[in-house]
Amino acid sequence: MMKKTNDSIYKKGDIIEFDIIDLSNDTEGIGKTDAFTWFVKDTVIGDRIRAVVMKCMKNYGYAKLDKVIIPSPERRKPRCPVSGPCGGCTMQEMSYSFQLKYKENKVLNNLIRIGGFKREDFICIAENETANKDIMDSDCMASENRCIFYPVIGMEYPWRYRNKAVIPVGERGQKIAAGFYAGRTHSIVEVDDCLIGIEENCKIKDTVLSFMKRCNIKPYNEKNGDGVIRHILIRKGFATGEIMVCIVINTQKLPYKEQLCTALSAIKGVESIMLNINRSKTNVIMGQKTVNIYGKNFISDYIGNIRFNISAESFYQVNPVQTNILYNKVLEFADLKGDETVWDLYCGIGTISLFLAQKAGRVYGIETVQKAVEDAGNNAFINNINNAFFITGNAEDILELWKMEMINKGGEIDKNDKMDKNDKKDKRCGKDNKSPVNITDIRDMRDIKNILDFPDIVVVDPPRKGCDIKCLEAAAAASPRKIVYVSCDSATLARDLKYLAGKGYKPVKVQAVDMFPWSGHVETVALLSKLDVDKHIDVEIKLDELDLTSAESKATYAQIKEYILEKFDLKVSTLYIAQIKKKCGIVLREHYNKSKKEKQAIPQCTLEKEEAIMDALKHFKMI
């Protein structure tokens, strides 16, 4: 094989040979030929491979695996015959123990690389040390001012764990095809039995396909928008055994639906059959309208001893075994004593909220999807939980509104405005005080500070993109003692923890939980604690030894603005500079042109501008 020099250009179709030395965040193998980096799917660290060049950039490229010349000690034969083309499981080629180590390292590396934390900021507990109570003692760890990084929690049996499947239906020639989409495509890979799904999936899929053939029901055609059946959605309650089947259709009605109901209801566990109508020409799976055609319009499941009613549209964690572990870890980190007020942001159908409500004084869940909030209210009702309250709206908008309502004339959150809990219960539960739960729509809010109380603990469980900056700003401004962050993407977790660290919240514990064996995804719970000023050393300063004007004399507001504009191409106001000066402890003169309005809305400095101002203050040696 002709050796390529660093200046050579690789061409599509070239054959290359190298060792896999690392894995990307997308679980692609990483290797090098000289200074050129390659990404190759279906490879394992330690493999020696031959690959075909597919695409080249300036100093990296993508190649397709041609042959494993020397297999890694961690390489395994995939149990699924279509694990390669199917986009679901990307790590079946490697041992499960090796996957867990990869995920653990992924979380830690993201915290260091993206979060800006140092390796020495963490105490990494070895797996064989988790039973040692002395090592796990948090007070001992806190004295070292470091964060405990626990070993990832994996599954004893990492198969058949998914309680939900969405099976696309289409055409292949004259034949109906059903299975899962190949990675990054809408090409259906036919799957007889998905090994991470429930065993009933195969029988339900075959029953629907037999019905379609018998009654001449056409599958949906993405190209021209014709056909009837688009997807088969299946959900199962692991604790109850109840199964829901939801057929997503491209028409207003499903012909011969009675025959389908008869066939599906004969399958053990099927308690609910739904039709979802989706006539849009998009990739969105579910439409706006869902109707019940057999049995109940929901199924039930339990996490711990909390029962949840799950509709076709509900967000509900797909791995109930690990979800129980995850939520108990949230409860452990929160360390509730019984009288705390908790905010649960991005609460969904109230799964975490209701878990916390068992031990908290009261819990406020905030969720943007109205149907999810209705489900959360119903779930609180069926569990007779009357200390959980749910609000419909974007968490960032609600908290921004709350923050502005609570800001006093001095521009800070006024905790003296906290209402008596009994008063707030009267306002929320109605005249009889017997309603088990109350649901508030953001559009109906007139005085949010009388609806949402100050938090002792904030729990966030955002989507993959992480928390909105306004949400983080308001949560930190509310000054809870603890923040528990539940994340499905450790990259955005690291980004958000970096911001919260700047607001005085130090990571104390981090625990990864493997919710998705055989994929590269991992769930993470992080506990952040507000710096305890009572534990800081008191220092006596003699005023005659301190030049109080020295910081102010370093640079004028105009000089700071000029520096930021030149270096960052940003314009900042005098107000923003004053806010950051105050945050840094720089004494400010009294401003005599204050607004006479009692509830003056004070704009707050953005994170980008705050960082620029901090840079300027350091440049002028003011901090």
Residues in Cβ contact with 224 at an 8 Å cutoff, skipping those fewer than 6 apart = none
Q: Catalytic residue numbers?
A: 488
Query: Phi then psi for 498, rounded to 5 degrees?
Result: -60, -45
Q: Distance between CA atoms of 256 and 254, rounded to whole angstroms?
A: 6
Residue 327, marked binder: no
Q: Distance between CA atoms of 328 and 330, rounded to whole angstroms?
A: 5
Residue 367, marked binder: yes
* DSSP structure string for 185-237: S-PEEE-S--TTB-THHHHHHHHHHHHHHHHTPPBP-TTT---SEEEEEEEE-
Record the tokens describing residue 227, joined without a space: 């056909």
Record the tokens describing residue 17, joined without a space: 């040979």
Residue 93, marked binder: no
Ranges of H-type helices in 503-602: 550-554, 557-568, 574-583
DSSP classification of residue 178: E
In whole angstroms, what separates CA 615 from the centre of its chain? Answer: 31
Q: Distance between CA atoms of 480 and 478, rounded to whole angstroms?
A: 6
Name the E strands within 328-432. 341-345, 362-367, 388-392
* Amino acid identity for residue 455 in this structure: P
Torsion of CA 234, 235, 238, 239, to 10 degrees: -140
Record the tokens describing residue 26, joined without a space: 């997308």
Q: Distance between CA atoms of 277 and 250, rounded to whole angstroms?
A: 6
Q: Distance between CA atoms of 489 and 464, rounded to whole angstroms?
A: 5
Q: Do residues 483 and 460 make contact, with C-beta atoms less than 8 angstroms apart?
A: yes
CA-to-CA separations, 521 to 160, 314, 515, in angstroms, rounded: 17, 21, 8
Q: Distance between CA atoms of 111 and 131, rounded to whole angstroms?
A: 25
Q: Distance between CA atoms of 559 and 396, rounded to whole angstroms?
A: 34
- Beta bridge partners, 57, equal none
Q: Do residues 505 and 528 make contact, with C-beta atoms less than 8 angstroms apart?
A: yes
Residue 346, marked binder: yes
Q: Which residues line the annotated binding site?
A: 317, 346, 367, 461
Q: Which residues line the annotated binding site for S-adenosyl-L-methionine?
A: 317, 346, 367, 461
